[in-house]
Structure 1
């Protein structure tokens, strides 16, 4: 499951592109900056603007953190199974476990709403760099971040007056070198259409995650609705249920979440020395606590599965990142690339010395990181409470003075996520809250003022229990009343979770203010200078770090050489049964086992390409030269676990579920004749 991404091997160094022009197949390119000339030189062909426009209009961003695409004229959306697992989970019960058994809608009126989900399509990209930077003036620190955020809020509000159907988002690129306004057509009613059994998508479990060969049906279908009816999407991608061809060109179009390829040495050091070790240690303990609790009952096992899958996937990613940043050859090349850029920028007075600025900002951030991290308790109920408190406080302010997430352009999605109905399991919420409070005490110390603010005289166990058991925020009607009632209702509330969120809010704001002054503000200026240095040294044919906004990468279908052996570019459906052992996680999904004789064993199941992707690209359509969909990206191989910091085309691979396999599933394993007909329609 590709939720976050990254590079581990010293052999991967040759292709690293930190600060340098992109190597072959490297790059998560913006649609307004696609390197057609570069691709044409490498492949002898590149898409024209009409091709790019068609694809952009069919690409979908799912606000749950994934990518997708329209594949019919009636709002049908292709994405990954792991991208909609929470929707299956939220619609399940002990009597009807959709996550375990899968879901097939025979009729559209049976399609299930996905809580908190929104589908978004980019309709316009506008460069607003001069407007945003023009607001900086002579400001520094916190004053600069306030001026910047106010200008961004102003731009977003001015360009999106119909908040029911549009969303505007100003995106920071190149660390502050550019600012782009992305305008989206949004659809806030997203429903589940079809999903296979969980074991079909997770065959091989954690051992096979970020590995290849793979045998995973990590595909599902959603549908976008508006005013209670499926939307019309004439500009959709053609479904093409065929096997891939070795060496053919492929494009991955989606929303890669976040990369750190343009970071400086001090930022990399902070990641290696502080953030990653803290994350690995605390998350490993959470995994252990959760597994123990899930063993208590079948009900706990079902209710904790989606959370456990996410934790295990993230742990594998962070372990890969840690290995990458502890590889001296790997980090040595990162340092060499940075030195080369410094040398080329030494005689450019316009650049100045942003590296010293970043070093100082990171040094200050080291003092703030642990308090800022641990003063954010982990709990769904607490998350609701914090949102209600912050929304009440922020909505009383002018739009330009509000925190990000609470401006006029952002409020509709914030409200949707807050009010959509979904199940809350008290034992699970109590477990995560207790864990986060205990880790705060451990890392900050029992005598730290922030620990005392978090706990008072209570224990993590006692406080978590009393907060969760006493709160009524699991009821969306209670949340709506507090949302509608604003600050007066919030202050009058005796819900213990609301009272607790109010208790922490002032200190959280104080820490944000300090971080803006010491870290975010200086980085806004330094980031712009570093971008100028790169443009001056290497030209403007560069791609920015990922920002969970629409990107396109190009590559080809290809295996790779592993320890002297050639790894094939594809697997087949029949290979599933050869790999099966009968023991979890290599137990074949029941529907697969029952219909083994109907499945074409030679049908391509999963395949790999050289496309450059990262977490957030999950569900991205894999598109051929003709602009048709031949798969959905769902993972990377183990070598891609350093892709957060660099890319190597000889080893990094995108793992794709083939439309050839999905068609087999739709026709023979999880029959959905209406869906098959819809996909085949002209």
Structure 2
């Protein structure tokens, strides 16, 4: 085992970087060995040490993970944080009311005192990482079952995390890479006092809405600004009025000279999930079974939500973020279906797997790899129908709070009922907090309608054995499912905060056991967790086979992929500003940027997606672009690079060869939607907000010159 590990590690370092230079999401600790020479040829002027250093300040110290799902950067000596508008969307919506609608109208703090603290928001700084592959893999062997292997690995991970957290100061995460063939630990420091500094109007931050999402040409001002606060000694701290703006180790300077074709572009961030090593039948399962169910279920939720949101600004504020998240993945999954089908990705993977199978069944490889492909294919054949069912069920569980909340609260109530009076009094505050959280920002008619619509879809389309409670509901409801579901929701204690609070005062076991909504929720969650014995057996074989498949592809050098899949750990991707073919919809001379002229051409007064503030129109007519105009006179908005990114990179800084900020990544193009599975060097693009447009919006449109004065600007 140790010889195999050593061979893999050595072979990685000896590999030529023959893959396309812009392909790959790379570990910072290996940049010097694997990428630095290529990056220099393309225009990088920094040393590897200036990008990643444990002992000295480096670019890594200016990059943060934003609230666990996006990326952001530190852009001033006073802890100013730049990320996407859609990354800050939850916090902005939370801080908005009908009277002070910051989401709709924008917000700019003119002093530290005016900055707003959301209830829960944090940023995570990356401290260091290291390879613990040999240490962890020494604890396992090929005779172990997958469950035994996982237990041994988790035991060692717990030890490593404790060794490196410095008494709880740091968060330590040990992550698996290359499907369990390598392991690295990551040390982070979290800061929880993060406040809203500024956001453009929603019409700018979401300009183009769902219509332009994943599309090019694009004209979106997708950014927002926050600030990190520390205690008076500079330490991470809970919110306090006595806290002070952070003094960061490193902040990014801003370059206003603009971009042109073939300029070097580097992105650091926290890409969420790619599946570049996914087998052919896994891709086929997604395209034919899982994603179509996801798309259909998402559209059902969106249609119901939109109906209620359009009728009430209060409801719109409560559900804006949830709707945006569903809509984003709805278009993403449909785009994935289209792109993977169009490019025949599964067939390309099958061709690779045939080569692998021939290699695997050579005498010297057969014992280790001979059954790998057949075990993988057997698993997918067995789980295709379940994948479709599970995605319809996920649509139901994700769609309405009342699919999950009764189970989440009810299981606590079951325990609560059995306790004595003293124990109940101890438990009551925690239960009350759970109830409060469930009903916070809830609009009951919307939740009921989504529940009914998703149950109908699940019953009609899941194509799988239904849970017992759903079968009974279907039988009892007959042809009147909508009224029947509404009736059991009206009678349930779980659809009323007041009834749940009364239950805490006078708990009744019989009442709980006969609550039909609770029984339904319990069965739905049990179905979601269900793992039939035949599938569990196949899953055991599949897990082992997939790990060996990835190991074998690397040993045989049959795969062109040289980097691990994304998994929300800090990565670097590099490329250039690269145009797409000329597009009549874009007024730009080269189709690698867009202008304010093109944005104004899309303008539709009072439209949900293409409206603009009157001040934008006025400033455009006056050509009042200040220092932010391009040298050719136009006002830039967005631009394209060929960097390799995915979800989680939203908000990532786009940097030039000197490590200066030139833009903000926020989207990809729908033509390359298969990018999470296979990189297309001809079509794959990252869509970025030009930093000049960001600062024009801050300065000229919003008059927040206090923010401009904080920045280090290079012209």
Scaled by the length of structure 2, the TM-score of the pair is 0.78
Match of 2:646 in 1: 614
Looking at structure 1, the residues matched to 257 and 472 of structure 2 have their Cα atoms a distance apart, in angstroms, of 56
Match of 2:556 in 1: 537
Looking at structure 2, the residues matched to 192 and 605 of structure 1 have their Cα atoms a distance apart, in angstroms, of 23
Distance of aligned partners of 1:382 and 1:277 in 2 relative to their CA distance in 1, 3 Å threshold: closer
Select the structure with the greater relative contact order (CA < 8 A; seq sep ≥ 6). Answer: 1
Match of 1:120 in 2: 124
Shift, 1:202, TM fit: 1.9
Distance of aligned partners of 1:111 and 1:545 in 2 relative to their CA distance in 1, 3 Å threshold: same
Looking at structure 2, the residues matched to 524 and 294 of structure 1 have their Cα atoms a distance apart, in angstroms, of 43
> Which of these residues, 75, 78, 81, is aligned with residue 74 of structure 1?
78
Shift, 1:661, TM fit: 0.9
Shift, 1:71, TM fit: 1.3
Shift, 1:83, TM fit: 0.8
Distance of aligned partners of 1:454 and 1:280 in 2 relative to their CA distance in 1, 3 Å threshold: farther
Match of 1:176 in 2: 180
More displaced 10-residue stretch of structure 1: 640-649 or 595-604: 595-604
Aligned 8 A contact 2:280 2:347 in 1: no
More displaced 10-residue stretch of structure 1: 122-131 or 452-461: 452-461
Match of 1:576 in 2: 599
Looking at structure 1, the residues matched to 440 and 617 of structure 2 have their Cα atoms a distance apart, in angstroms, of 33
**Is the counterpart of residue 592 in structure 1 residue 616 in structure 2?**
yes
Match of 1:139 in 2: 144
Q: How many residues align?
A: 632
Alignment of 1:69-218 (within 5 A): 69-137=73-141, 138-160=143-165, 162-163=167-168, 165-218=169-222
Aligned 8 A contact 1:471 1:497 in 2: no
> Which of these residues, 546, 560, 563, is aligned with residue 527 of structure 1?
546
**Is the counterpart of residue 260 in structure 1 residue 275 in structure 2?**
yes
Listed as ranges, the gaps of 5+ residues in structure 1 are 1-19, 395-414, 483-488
Deviation digits for residues 581-623 of structure 1 (CA, Å, limit 9, x no counterpart) = 4362322234423543333562321111111111111100001
Match of 1:623 in 2: 655
Alignment of 1:340-489 (within 5 A): 340-347=355-362, 348-349=364-365, 350-366=368-384, 368-369=386-387, 372-373=390-391, 377-378=397-398, 379-380=400-401, 423-444=441-462, 448-452=466-470, 459-464=484-489, 470-472=495-497
Distance of aligned partners of 1:365 and 1:462 in 2 relative to their CA distance in 1, 3 Å threshold: farther
Shift, 1:93, TM fit: 1.7
Distance of aligned partners of 1:235 and 1:291 in 2 relative to their CA distance in 1, 3 Å threshold: same
Shift, 1:509, TM fit: 8.4
SS of the aligned residue for 1:126 comes to: strand
Tell me how large the CA RMSD over aligned residues is: 4.0
Deviation digits for residues 508-564 of structure 1 (CA, Å, limit 9, x no counterpart) = 685269699346543442232122222213399811111122111000112122589
Aligned 8 A contact 2:268 2:654 in 1: yes
Deviation digits for residues 247-282 of structure 1 (CA, Å, limit 9, x no counterpart) = 211111111111122111121121112101111121
Looking at structure 2, the residues matched to 391 and 123 of structure 1 have their Cα atoms a distance apart, in angstroms, of 38
Distance of aligned partners of 1:25 and 1:515 in 2 relative to their CA distance in 1, 3 Å threshold: farther
**Is the counterpart of residue 51 in structure 1 residue 56 in structure 2?**
no
SS of the aligned residue for 1:192 comes to: strand
> Which of these residues, 285, 303, 307, is aligned with residue 292 of structure 1?
307
Match of 2:336 in 1: 321
Deviation digits for residues 303-360 of structure 1 (CA, Å, limit 9, x no counterpart) = 4433333232222211111112322644433332333344444435244432222223
Deviation digits for residues 50-106 of structure 1 (CA, Å, limit 9, x no counterpart) = 122112222111235211111122222110001111111112222221111111112
Looking at structure 2, the residues matched to 176 and 440 of structure 1 have their Cα atoms a distance apart, in angstroms, of 35
More displaced 10-residue stretch of structure 1: 362-371 or 83-92: 362-371
Looking at structure 2, the residues matched to 97 and 382 of structure 1 have their Cα atoms a distance apart, in angstroms, of 30
Shift, 1:219, TM fit: 0.9
Looking at structure 2, the residues matched to 426 and 324 of structure 1 have their Cα atoms a distance apart, in angstroms, of 38
Distance of aligned partners of 1:40 and 1:195 in 2 relative to their CA distance in 1, 3 Å threshold: closer
Match of 1:549 in 2: 569
SS of the aligned residue for 1:99 comes to: helix
Distance of aligned partners of 1:582 and 1:126 in 2 relative to their CA distance in 1, 3 Å threshold: same
Looking at structure 2, the residues matched to 142 and 615 of structure 1 have their Cα atoms a distance apart, in angstroms, of 30
Deviation digits for residues 468-504 of structure 1 (CA, Å, limit 9, x no counterpart) = 86353999xx9xxx9xxxxxx9999979799669835
Shift, 1:159, TM fit: 3.3
Aligned 8 A contact 1:364 1:518 in 2: no
Distance of aligned partners of 1:504 and 1:329 in 2 relative to their CA distance in 1, 3 Å threshold: closer
Distance of aligned partners of 1:94 and 1:675 in 2 relative to their CA distance in 1, 3 Å threshold: same
More displaced 10-residue stretch of structure 1: 418-427 or 306-315: 418-427
**Is the counterpart of residue 666 in structure 1 residue 698 in structure 2?**
yes
Structure of larger gyration radius: 2
More displaced 10-residue stretch of structure 1: 418-427 or 533-542: 418-427
Looking at structure 2, the residues matched to 544 and 474 of structure 1 have their Cα atoms a distance apart, in angstroms, of 50
Looking at structure 2, the residues matched to 201 and 666 of structure 1 have their Cα atoms a distance apart, in angstroms, of 12
Distance of aligned partners of 1:162 and 1:500 in 2 relative to their CA distance in 1, 3 Å threshold: farther
Deviation digits for residues 648-671 of structure 1 (CA, Å, limit 9, x no counterpart) = 222211111011111111111112
Shift, 1:199, TM fit: 0.6
Looking at structure 2, the residues matched to 134 and 90 of structure 1 have their Cα atoms a distance apart, in angstroms, of 48
Distance of aligned partners of 1:107 and 1:130 in 2 relative to their CA distance in 1, 3 Å threshold: same
Looking at structure 2, the residues matched to 450 and 108 of structure 1 have their Cα atoms a distance apart, in angstroms, of 56
More displaced 10-residue stretch of structure 1: 278-287 or 319-328: 319-328
Shift, 1:384, TM fit: 6.2
**Is the counterpart of residue 333 in structure 1 residue 348 in structure 2?**
yes
Looking at structure 2, the residues matched to 508 and 250 of structure 1 have their Cα atoms a distance apart, in angstroms, of 47
Shift, 1:423, TM fit: 3.0
Distance of aligned partners of 1:531 and 1:38 in 2 relative to their CA distance in 1, 3 Å threshold: farther
Aligned 8 A contact 2:83 2:652 in 1: yes
Looking at structure 2, the residues matched to 177 and 199 of structure 1 have their Cα atoms a distance apart, in angstroms, of 46
SS of the aligned residue for 1:641 comes to: helix
Distance of aligned partners of 1:557 and 1:435 in 2 relative to their CA distance in 1, 3 Å threshold: same
Looking at structure 2, the residues matched to 118 and 492 of structure 1 have their Cα atoms a distance apart, in angstroms, of 43
Looking at structure 2, the residues matched to 123 and 362 of structure 1 have their Cα atoms a distance apart, in angstroms, of 39
Distance of aligned partners of 1:24 and 1:234 in 2 relative to their CA distance in 1, 3 Å threshold: closer
Looking at structure 2, the residues matched to 277 and 541 of structure 1 have their Cα atoms a distance apart, in angstroms, of 28
Aligned 8 A contact 2:390 2:528 in 1: no
SS of the aligned residue for 1:561 comes to: coil
Listed as ranges, the gaps of 5+ residues in structure 2 are 1-16, 53-57, 230-236, 416-432, 478-483
Aligned 8 A contact 1:64 1:116 in 2: no
Distance of aligned partners of 1:508 and 1:56 in 2 relative to their CA distance in 1, 3 Å threshold: farther
Distance of aligned partners of 1:48 and 1:95 in 2 relative to their CA distance in 1, 3 Å threshold: same
Match of 1:12 in 2: none
SS of the aligned residue for 2:675 comes to: coil
**Is the counterpart of residue 26 in structure 1 residue 23 in structure 2?**
yes
